[in-house]
Amino acid sequence: MINFIVCDNNEKIVENVVKVIDKVMIKNNIAYKNHKFVDYNQEFMSEMKQHGTNKIYILDIEVNNKSGIDIARMIRKDDLNSAIIFLTSHNELAECVVTNVIMPLGFVCKFN
């Protein structure tokens, strides 16, 4: 099973991302579960610390003044295998993401 962990402070964007995930996963008959968050809160941290495989994080770079880049660093401390995709409206931060040794899988602009 693939676990998608989606976090963005805009609930509508979270729902749109989940719709895309649902469409692709159902079409391809792949077992998955969505974990939706609008903040890097205690529930998010608890999910992040759950040991397991097949995690794909889709993270906003900034959520309520908390850094998604710092969250990705925390993920990488214990988990080198999960995919991390940044979802943001801050295109100017793409270089910062790539040069931070957090091995992101991608960087997607929210409004494209």
pLDDT of residue 69: 85
Lay out the sheet containing 2-7: strands in order across: 32-37, 2-7, 55-60, 83-88, 106-109
How far apart are alpha carbons 43 and 109 in whole angstroms?
25
pLDDT of residue 108: 64
What is the model's pTM?
Answer: 0.84
Checking if the pLDDT of 90 tops 70, the result is no
Higher pLDDT, 33 or 112: 33
Pick the CATH number of 2-109 from 3.40.50.2300, 3.50.50.60, 3.40.50.880, 1.20.1050.40: 3.40.50.2300
The packing angle between helices 68-78 and 42-49, to 10°, is 30
Residue extents of the structural domains in the chain = 2-109
State CA 105 to chain mean position distance: 10
Report residue 70 as tokens.
């710092």
SS3 of residue 93 by DSSP: helix
